[in-house]
Structures are given as structure tokens and as C-alpha cells.
Structure 1
Amino acid sequence: MSTFAEHLDHPLARGHTPADAFTGAAGGAACGDLIRLSLATDGRRITDAGFDASGCAAALAAASATVELAIGRGLLEAARLGAQDVSEALDGLSPAKRHAAELAADALHRALGAAVRERGALVPRPDRLLVAMSGGVDSAVAALLCARAGQTVGVTLELWSDPENDGELSCCSPQAVRAARALAHGMGLAHLSIDLRAEFRAGVVEPWLAEHAAGLTPNPCVRCNGGVRLEAMVALADRVGAAALATGHYARVKRGPHGPLLRRAADPAKDQSYMLAALAPATLERLRFPLGERSKPEVRALAADAALPVADKPDSQDLCFLAGTGRSAFLARHGRLGERPGAIVDRRGRTLGRHRGAHGFTVGQRRGLRVGGAGEALYVLATDADANTVTVGTREQLRTSTVSARDVTLYRPGAVIDGVKLRYRSAALACEPLSGLPSGTHERVELYLREPIHGAAPGQLACLLAGDVVVGHGTIDRSVAT
């Protein structure tokens, strides 16, 4: 009798749910097959497991084989199991049945990730690193460099799942998790996946929607890195006994007697320190950025030399939770921010035109106003969510040398500040030191720029700099026109 037939006729632990088990499920309505796998752990090994499955015979056999593979394995050993291992345990599955092995592996890793996150207690090793892997080239090369230096474990976060999205374009969808796992396993690495969808929605997406409704221009990536994603992975690093967490961000860390500070990347074209500026020092202390001294062409060359399949993969260009969904459509579906016609006015309150919703505009915006007959280009000067108006004016009317920031955190005294970055893609601007302002938190701070700019968008991050080092951050509240 074949192994496939053995598992089909005598499934191992079907209907069994261990005490204090962690459960992962995969499949469902789309394919008709569903596998639910439960496992128990003592913090280091999988001590027991069971499953339930419905659908085709291959799903039942794959689930049974996965339970047999998992029981008794160390947590990181189990983290190396994938669909290919399940298929081989069944003497090889035909292409038509391969999906069953994929579902079984997905269910296993969802259960395993939950178990490690809550109960992992692996012995710490100074040479072990946890590496964040999104399935892209940057994180893959970060993992490659770490693996050359010591034991490396990959981790991918499932942050968002939306049937309206294109999951192939997202770095945190179920499809991205599966692709990152395959990439890690292909590199010989253990791989964990963590479900943070609830935390991501509550801590990132809901505030993003609320801030849009309030007429702001939020930056969800700053909030995600500073309060959801990296903190969760640092906590996971402790669970797996890793000395630090490495990521594929282009940034550096300056370490000193007063604690670590974020430093801009060597390649200014790829620098991501702005997106990481809200990281707490305790989190930053545990981070490593293997790409901080490298350029993007160098990274792609390393990937090509190692024959990584993502060497030529394009960079993601949109917010991860949009992934092929238009911003307006997302705001309407998830935030009930659909069309809400209102007036476009000038500073005197004269109506110049109509818009479809003030939440769709940001300070400094020119495109999409559709106001004719003004004689010169008009820009958004302000939005008023309550009145649902968009105020426009000339580029000169945007001109300002003063920016007000709220909820400011300084990691060093304000006297060391000599620059500020007001948008991710913009250059750093010279500003006056905040003399007399101590390190710590401040409700509001006025930033005085040495050269005027044309508007700053309320809701965006103000990244405070001393040279190329991030020494604080706040949220832009308003800019004062000159």
C-alpha cells in the first residue's frame, strides 16, 4: 500500500485537538478544501498535533502526513518544513494534487507561528539572527548576508488580507507569506510567519482612515514601523533566542553611551530612515541593517550572484494594504469616505469650483483641482474636513518658513538639531536649533526653516536631524504662510 493510501485509510490524529493547542487553518470556499491543524509545544519542540480536514482525498492525506512530520520536531526544525516535504512524505503528489500540500504547509505554519509567538522559549544564541523577509530582493539579500555570518531564521508578517486587493503586489498578503517562505526554504533557512492582521488594522489602517476623515495626510508606514511591525518581530526574536532582528531597510544605527540613534543610509537615493524615525530606542538597540552601507545596484548584484529568484523583482510602489486597489476605492470601502461634493474656495472664501471630497486632497497638491479661469496655477493651501472645503491659492501663497509640529519626541537636546525632513521623498531642510528644549516629549514645537518652502502637509512626519542622524520626530500640525 502506498504512503498516500496509508494516510488516506488510516489518518493520523484526525479529530484530535491537543490541550493548550495553537491552531492554523488554510483553504476554504475558494477551492473547497479546508485543513485545520493544531499543535502543542513545550516551548522548544512540538509535543503533540492533530487535524481536521474536508474536501478532496489529497487534503486529508496531506494533513495526516503533516502531523506525522511535525510531532517531535524542534520548533525551528519544523519551521523548515514546506509543501515539498509534505509532497515527498506522500511519495510525491501530482500537479493536480499539489495544492493539498500547499494548504497543509500553510496551516502548519499558521499554527507554528502562533505557538512560537506565544510560547517559544528557545535557548538564546549570540550568533542567531531573526531576519524580516517580505519576499523582495532587499530582505532576501539581508537574509543572505546574515546567513553567511551565523544562524538565521526568516520571519514574514501577514498584515492584510483583502479579496479586492492584488495579493501578488503586496508584501504582507497570504500570497506574499507563501512566497517568502519558499524563498527562505530555498536558501536553507527556517521560516516563521506571524498573523498580525488584527493589530495592523487597529494600529495602522484604522488611524489612517480616521486621519483622512479629519483632513490630514497620514503616513501609515511610520506608524507601522514605529508601533506594530518591528516591535512584534523584536519580541519574536526573544522567543526564538535570537540576539537581534535584521531587516532589509536602507538605514544605519549610530551607537553610543547615551543609547542608539538612527542614521541615514549611505545611499541617499534609497535612505529609509524617515520611515523608521518613530522607532523607540529600545527597539532600535535590537535592530541590524545589513544594507545600510550598500546601494541598490550592489544589492541586486549580490542577489544575482547568489542566484536568488527575486534578483530582478521590481520594488513595491504602493502602500501594502492598497496593493492594486485605488486609494479612493479603499477609503470608500473601508472608511466610508466616498464622494462628498463640496466647494473649492480661495482665501477670501469665494467659490472657484467643486470637488468630490475634501479627504482626497493634501496641502501642496496641484493635480485634480479642475479649476479653470484662474490665470495661474493653483495649489491646495488647506482642507477643512468639517466644512468639507478645499482652499486653494498660488504657489507663492504656500510659501512658509515656519512649521508647527505636535507630539514631538526628542532623543537628544533640541540644541543639536540642524535639519528636518518633512516628506519621505523630499530632501532634508536646514532649520534653526531648538535651543533650550530638553530631550523628552513635547506637546508642540515650532520649526524655523532657514529657507522657505512651499507648504507642509499636516499629518506627515517631521523627522528631526543632527547631520545624518535622526534625533527626534513629530507630526506636522500646520505650516504658517509668510
Structure 2
Amino acid sequence: MADERFEDHLTFPRGRGHRPDGAIDGAAGGALCGDLVTIALTVAEDRIADAGFDAEGCGATIAAGSAVVELIHGAPVLEAARIGTTEVAAALGGLSVGKLHAADLAADALHRALGAAVRTQAAVAPPRPDGTGRTLVAMSGGVDSAVAALLGVREGDEVCTVTLELWADDGHDGSKSCCSADAVRGARALAHRMGLPHLTLDLRAEFRAGVVDPWLADHAAGLTPNPCVRCNGHVRLDAMLDYADRLGAATLTTGHYARVTPDGLLRAALDEGKDQSYMLAALHPDSVARLRFPLGELRKPAVRALAEQAGLPVARRPDSQDLCFLAGVGRAGFLARHGGLGETPGDIVDEHGAVLGTHRGAHHVTVGQRRGLGLPGGDAEPLHVLRTDPETNTVVVGPHAALATTTVPIGDVRLYRDPGRVDRVKLRYRSRSLPCTLRDGALELHEPVHGAAPGQVACLLDGDVVVGCATIER
């Protein structure tokens, strides 16, 4: 039977060479592997209206493309989103290990086309007229998002999943990133293992324009930006909420460690060590109202225990530590490769202008930094970066005490409630919150801080509730 199905698709390929009017294309493969498959499809409301494919390479690639077209033609969008390598191989009667790569490529091409078509063409009806009952889960492929999806299923929701493709280039190590094509493939396999439909949302252009380019520009200006706050607040979460609308989902569920107050504001998570409310501080309350954070009341060990009990293979996967687009490249390499900010040696001077040494480029250091400056050690008091001057490419250093300040200038202030509610601020992601008072254009701290880095986000708090955010200025 396996040979008969395979030979049938190879001899009479369904939809080969057919490209429907207004079709969205998705391609996978290419020069490296020698095989290429392209799936072209259109979506009308909640179904695949038409589909075709083209393929180059081995016979298995042609057969796999044909199998995909047959599987998806006329299928509901959310059923097509359940099709992966396993389903393509089964439609061909099973494939040997050597031919399974063709099913991988066909599934990749399908999901690239389907993800883009849903964004522009789909109008999937909600399961109930009031729109409740279906949630879209942001699935990174890690343990937190997987458990968020698991808890959604246990709550009785109809769960759909989506993974973002945000960045790719030749130097990027996709295996270490949560936003690469490799990560998308892994997250899709995990979602399908959990019995859930999975879609891919390609935001590479938006991510480059809205996150990476400003991050590079800020470094060139001598600032210390936080791209994750910008990404969450201006790019990815709102894009996923729009995607949820296309899929008839009333809410977006994520694996962030955060909570929401009864009046619709972000609040710190129960697990203070994992709290991510700072990273979400730029989200408008209208967006927060549609977000669900099922991990907000849990601690990380409990999340891993839930994953193990459910038999999820990511239960012990380590958390990612670096910015997603830096995987395999590193900060210095990325700045040089994409921002033209390579090695530009300059002077390290003290507060009186005396030259103490040289640095590799002012864009490589941040206010408060002590390590990596290459200055003589010995018994002398350690020196910290007090400020940088990108115009003269100079780094000014001094003793730790010289960093102390009780006034932090801020700009780009966004307030979600009355400014009088601001009584604390976090000046870095992992820092503790400090008591403060919000004045015009500045934060007056009730205790000194050592090293407020220009460009970083100031998360404005009422206790542990996020009531606004701003950017630290020079």
C-alpha cells in the first residue's frame, strides 16, 4: 500500500504547476539540499479554497507536494494547521528515513503559505457568537509556552498555537534562537504532539524595522536599549492579537510570568525571580485586556513539574538567556555585521580628562560597567563607566560612588493611570524597584541608584503594578 500511494502521487501529482489566482506562496528547500517545494494556496473565510504546488528535485519531493495539496484542498484552516511531517508521510503510505526530508520540506512550505494567507485572507468564525472559548497561544517551543497551552486545554478552551519567525541571516544560529525557522519547526512539532493546530507568523520585516534598526541606532548614539520591551510593546504581541482576530480567538495566551489586576493593568508575577512584567511595560491596557498569563501564579519548578507530568519533551529544556537575534553571532559581531559598528578604538579617561587606557568602541560599553574595560587592576579602587560620548568616542570612568544619583531624567513617558500613582520604578530588568516620585521630565529617587543607563526602560510602578514606562535619558 505504501508503494502504491507514493507511486500514485508521483505519477499523477495533484495540482502540480497550478497556482490559484491571488494565491499566497510558501517555499522550502533550495540549493543546499537540492530539493525545493512551493505550495500556493488561497483561503476563503475559514477554508482552503484552492491549492497547487511545484517542486524540483527527487521524486519524494514531488510526491510530498502532491500529498499536501490533496490533504488541504477544501479543508478548514484549523484542520490544515494540524498537518505536519507525520501527516504528509502517512498520506504517502509511510516514508523511509531517507525520504522523510521531503515530507519535512512540504510541511514547511505549507505552513509558510498558510501562515501568510491567514494573515490576509482568513476570517475564521469564533466557536461561540460572543467570541469566547478559543484562545491563540504564543508558542515559542520552550517549556513555558507549552505549559501555557496545556493549561488552556485543561481550562476547556479551544487552543490554537502560533510561532513567530522574526530573524534569519547566514550567521544566525537558529538552533539557539526562539524566533528562527528552526524554532518554528520545533514549536510546530511540539504543538502537533500536543494535538493542537499550529500556524507560523512571519514578522521578519516588522521586527527589523521596529526592533533591530532602532537597537542599532541607539547603540550608535551611545545608548543602552532594551529591544525586548520595544518588541513586546510595539511589534509582536499586537501582531499576534490581530492574528487572533483572523482566527476567531478572543484572547492571546502567552507563557510570560506576569499577572493582570482587576482594573486591567500588568502586575508582577508570583515568582519574583521569573517576573517579566518589566518586559511587557510598553503594552497598552487595551492589549493587556485581551492577554492571558496562566503562569503568573506559578513558580518555575511547578511549571516544569506540569510539563513532566504531561510527558512534554521540553520539560527540562534550559531557558534562553540572550537576545533572540544574537544567537550564534554575539552582540559585538551583530553590531559590526548589521550596524557597521565594528572596532573603533578610543580613549578611556577619568573625570578630569586624563587618559587611562583605550576601548574597542564606545558602543560596546554601558553606564555602570566595571568588567571588560582592560584597565590596570592592583590595589586601586575599581573603576566604572560613568558616561560615554559617541561623538568623540570617549569613555569616562570613575569610582563607584561617582555613579550615585537621585535624579533620573526620562523621556517618551507613557502613563496608563494618574501620574500620582507612580511610587516606585525599575531601571533595569533584573534590578529591584526603588521608591520614587515622578516629576516633570524626571524621576526623583528616595534613595540613590548607582548607574542609570541612558536608553534603558524605566518601568513605572504603583507597588508591583505597572502604571507606565519611560526611557532613561542622559
Q: Shorter-chain-normalised TM-score: which range?
A: over 0.9
Query: Which residue of the partner structure matches residue 411 of structure 2?
Result: 406
Q: Distance in 2 between matches of 1:313 and 1:404?
A: 40
2:162/2:198 contact within 8 Å kept: yes
Paired letter, 1:360: H
Residue type of the alignment partner of 1:421:
K
Q: Once superposed, which parts of structure 1, at least 4 consecutive aligned residues long, lie more than 4 Å away?
A: none
TM-score, normalising length from structure 2?
Answer: 0.97
Asked whether 1:451 is paired with 2:458, we answer no
Is residue 276 from structure 1 mapped to residue 280 from structure 2 by the alignment? yes
Q: Which moved more, 1:101-110 or 1:115-124?
A: 115-124
Alignment partner for residue 473 of structure 1, among 465, 469, 472? 469
Alignment match, 1:228: 235
In 2: Cα distance, 1:381 partner to 1:29 partner: 50
2:123 matches 1:127: no
> Residue 143 of structure 2 contacts residue 317 of structure 2 at CA under 8 Å; is this kept in 1?
yes
TM-score norm. by structure 1 comes to: 0.95
Match of 1:41 in 2: 43
Match of 2:142 in 1: 136
Q: Distance in 2 between matches of 1:343 and 1:171?
A: 38
Q: Which amino acid aligns with 1:307?
A: G
User: Matches of residues 317-356 of structure 1 in structure 2 within 5 Å?
Assistant: 317-356=321-360
Root-mean-square deviation (Å): 1.1
* Percent of residue pairs identical: 64
| Amino acid in structure 2 at the alignment position of 1:369 | L
Counterparts of residues 433-444 of structure 1 (less than 5 Å)? 433-434=438-439
Deviation at 1:432, TM superposition (A): 2.3
SS of structure 2 residue aligned to 1:114: helix
Question: Counterpart in 1 of 2:72?
Answer: 70
1:36-435 mapped onto 2 (5 Å cutoff) = 36-125=38-127, 126-149=132-155, 150-256=157-263, 260-372=264-376, 375-434=380-439
Measured in 2, the distance between the counterparts of 1:417 and 1:209 equals 31
Q: Which runs of 5 or more structure 1 residues have no equivalent in the other structure? A: 435-443
- Provide the C-alpha distance between the structure 1 equivalents of 2:66 and 2:248, rounded to a whole number of angstroms: 30
Secondary structure of the structure 2 residue equivalent to 1:2: helix
Tell me the CA shift for residue 433 of structure 1: 4.8
8 Å contact from structure 1 (residues 43, 116) kept in 2: no
- Counterpart CA distance in 1 for 2:10 and 2:63 is 5
Q: Distance in 2 between matches of 1:58 and 1:262?
A: 50
Q: Which residue is 2:459 aligned to?
A: 463
Q: Specify the code of the residue in structure 2 equivalent to 1:401.
A: T
- Could you list the per-position Cα deviations for residues 43-79 of structure 1 after superposition, in whole angstroms to 9, with x for gaps in the alignment? 2100110111101111111001110101010000100
1:121 is paired with a residue whose SS is coil
Residue 49 of structure 1: SS of its match in structure 2?
Answer: strand
Shift in Å at residue 162 of structure 1?
A: 2.1
Counterpart AA for 1:184: A
Does the Cα contact within 8 Å between 1:416 and 1:433 map onto a contact in 2? no
Q: Which residue of 2 aligns with 1:23?
A: 25
Name stretches of at least 5 consecutive residues in structure 2 with no aligned partner.
none
Instruction: Give a deviation string over 1:395-431, Cα, whole Å, max 9, x none.
Output: 0111111101111011111111110000001111111
Whether the 8 Å CA contact 1:219–1:461 is kept in 2: the answer is yes
In the aligned structure 2, how far is the partner of 1:464 from the partner of 1:470? 6
